[in-house]
């Protein structure tokens, strides 16, 4: 049964994804990296997608953008950007959207930027690939963008190569490049993972500020619930290719209902508590070739019971009808269990 993650944003959605599936056909059998994911992103909204490595969050984004090069990958379902269906578009048709309408900020700017061209040159190429504009005007715009993302002495630094920038500056340059054509949707794939906490804070503030001034929608992909608490309006928690909890940030962070989300929240460092050992989620994400039947989290869940061998549907189990989770635990016990877990 496809999992539904409908929300009040559906009617004004910029992006509407339905039953998205990414399957890799391997010698050892089919592996479902994304399994029936459905969600929407409204205009001007920041949607956070959170989960461990291998949860399928990046794969879902790459599949929409036609960035999965593996010939054994099969992508099905629907991803409508405004009135255009992205799934099944040819690369040439997708190029009309990439960069100009939907831009991505990648995790590692050192590999996303080309080492043999200056940062300014790369932004100019991005602008000229999508707009009829002369090289001089595009260069001036590139310098303006670098200034806007906080690169000091931008006119001079535009002539620097990526290796001459620090990690934080490279990520700022990537953000400048992604904003070059004023995209409607910005997909940020773990943009702060490789950065120290101070730079991480600055980059998140920058994305939030630019999202406000450019009016873009943002999908923020991260494994860090702390980042989600900072920046997201709405949240999808993913585990082993599926959405296990969906809702407004206040609900998913402040009143989480799924044991996996409790595990992620429990792993946020809290300097003012007396705990000396940071809690972790026991075990590992399941082998994609040997997914457990029923609830995919049951091999790591402290509350697993007989019913959990059946797949729980994603639905509202409390009074907030926009707050969905996929778990068989009785709805009325969740608050008590959450409080006891996150004490």
46 secondary structure, DSSP code:
E
Angstrom distance (rounded) from CA 327 to CA 294: 10
| Region for 190 from its dihedrals, namely left if φ exceeds 0, alpha if ψ lies in -120 to 50, beta otherwise | left
Position among 206, 236, 256, 308 found at the interface with ligand SF4 (CB under 6 A):
308
Q: What is the DSSP string of 269-299?
A: --TTS--SS-----S-PPPGGGPPSSSTTTT
Angstrom distance (rounded) from CA 3 to CA 56: 15
From residue 199, alpha-carbon distances to 35, 168, 171, 195 in Å are 34, 6, 10, 6
Position among 179, 329, 334, 338 found at the interface with ligand SF4 (CB under 6 A):
329
Taking CB under 6 A as the rule, does residue 157 contact ligand SF4? no
Which residue, 181, 279, 190, is CA-closest to 231? 190
Taking CB under 6 A as the rule, does residue 328 contact ligand SF4? yes
Angstrom distance (rounded) from CA 280 to CA 263: 7
Which residue, 314, 186, 336, 342, is CA-closest to 253? 342
Nearer to ligand SF4, 24 or 303 (CB): 303
As measured in angstroms, the least distance from the Cβ of 239 to ligand SF4 is 9
CA 271 to chain centre: 27
Helix ranges (DSSP H) in 180-315: 197-214, 225-231, 249-254, 259-266
Phi and psi at residue 81, to the nearest 5°: -105, 110
Position among 297, 314, 334, 338 found at the interface with ligand SF4 (CB under 6 A):
297
Taking CB under 6 A as the rule, does residue 303 contact ligand SF4? yes
Q: Which range binds ligand SF4 by CB under 6 A, 19-27, 59-67, 111-119, 322-330?
A: 322-330
Taking CB under 6 A as the rule, does residue 105 contact ligand SF4? no
Taking CB under 6 A as the rule, does residue 327 contact ligand SF4? yes
Half-sphere exposure of 57 (CA within 13 A, CB side): 26
Taking CB under 6 A as the rule, does residue 51 contact ligand SF4? no
As measured in angstroms, the least distance from the Cβ of 267 to ligand SF4 is 16
Angstrom distance (rounded) from CA 190 to CA 222: 5
As measured in angstroms, the least distance from the Cβ of 241 to ligand SF4 is 15
Nearer to ligand SF4, 2 or 286 (CB): 286
Nearer to ligand SF4, 266 or 312 (CB): 312
CA angle 297, 235, 289 (to 5 degrees): 30
Position among 295, 323, 334, 338 found at the interface with ligand SF4 (CB under 6 A):
295
Residues 191-220 that bind ligand SF4 (CB under 6 A): none
Position among 33, 206, 225, 304 found at the interface with ligand SF4 (CB under 6 A):
304
As measured in angstroms, the least distance from the Cβ of 305 to ligand SF4 is 6
Nearer to ligand SF4, 15 or 240 (CB): 240
From residue 110 to residue 139, the character string flagging contacts with ligand SF4 as x (rule: CB under 6 A) and all else as - is ------------------------------
How many residues touch ligand SF4 under the rule CB under 6 A: the total is 12
Nearer to ligand SF4, 97 or 297 (CB): 297
Taking CB under 6 A as the rule, does residue 232 contact ligand SF4? no
Tell me the β-bridge partners of 217: 185
As measured in angstroms, the least distance from the Cβ of 301 to ligand SF4 is 3
From residue 244 to residue 263, the character string flagging contacts with ligand SF4 as x (rule: CB under 6 A) and all else as - is ---------------x----
Query: Both tokens of residue 138?
Result: 């595009």
Q: Which chain residues interact with ligand SF4 by CB under 6 A?
A: 259, 295, 297-298, 301, 303-304, 308, 312, 327-329
């Amino acid at each position: 049964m496809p999992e539904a993650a409908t929300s009040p944003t559906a009617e004004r959605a910029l992006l509407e994804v339905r039953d998205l599936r990414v399957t890799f056909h391997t010698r050892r059998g089919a592996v479902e990296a994304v399994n029936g994911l459905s969600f929407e992103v409204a205009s001007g909204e920041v949607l956070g997608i959170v989960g461990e490595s291998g949860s399928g969050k990046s794969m879902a984004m790459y599949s929409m953008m036609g960035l999965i090069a593996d010939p054994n990958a099969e992508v099905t379902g629907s991803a409508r950007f405004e009135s255009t269906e992205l799934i099944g578009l040819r690369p040439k048709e997708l190029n009309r959207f990439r960069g100009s309408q939907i831009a991505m900020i990648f995790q590692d700017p050192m590999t996303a930027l080309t080492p043999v061209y200056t940062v300014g040159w790369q932004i100019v190429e991005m602008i000229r690939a999508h707009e009829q504009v002369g090289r001089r005007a595009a260069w001036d715009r590139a310098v303006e963008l670098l200034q806007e993302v906080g690169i000091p002495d931008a006119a001079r630094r535009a002539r620097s190569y990526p290796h001459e920038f620090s990690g934080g500056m490279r990520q700022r340059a990537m953000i400048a490049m992604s904003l070059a054509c004023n995209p409607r949707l910005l997909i940020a794939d773990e943009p702060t993972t490789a950065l120290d906490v101070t730079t991480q804070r600055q980059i998140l503030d920058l994305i939030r500020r630019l999202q406000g001034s450019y009016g873009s929608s943002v999908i923020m992909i991260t494994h860090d619930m702390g980042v989600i608490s900072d920046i997201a309006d709405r949240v999808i928690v993913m585990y082993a290719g599926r959405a296990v909890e969906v809702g407004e940030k206040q609900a998913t962070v402040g009143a989480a209902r799924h044991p996996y989300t409790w595990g992620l929240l429990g792993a946020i460092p809290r300097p003012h508590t007396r705990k000396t050992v940071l809690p972790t989620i026991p075990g590992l994400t399941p082998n994609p070739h040997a997914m457990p039947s029923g609830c995919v989290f049951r091999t790591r869940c402290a509350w697993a019971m007989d019913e959990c061998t059946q797949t729980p549907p994603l639905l509202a189990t409390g009074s907030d009808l926009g707050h969905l989770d996929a778990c068989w635990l009785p709805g009325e016990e969740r608050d008590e269990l959450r409080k006891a877990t996150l004490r």
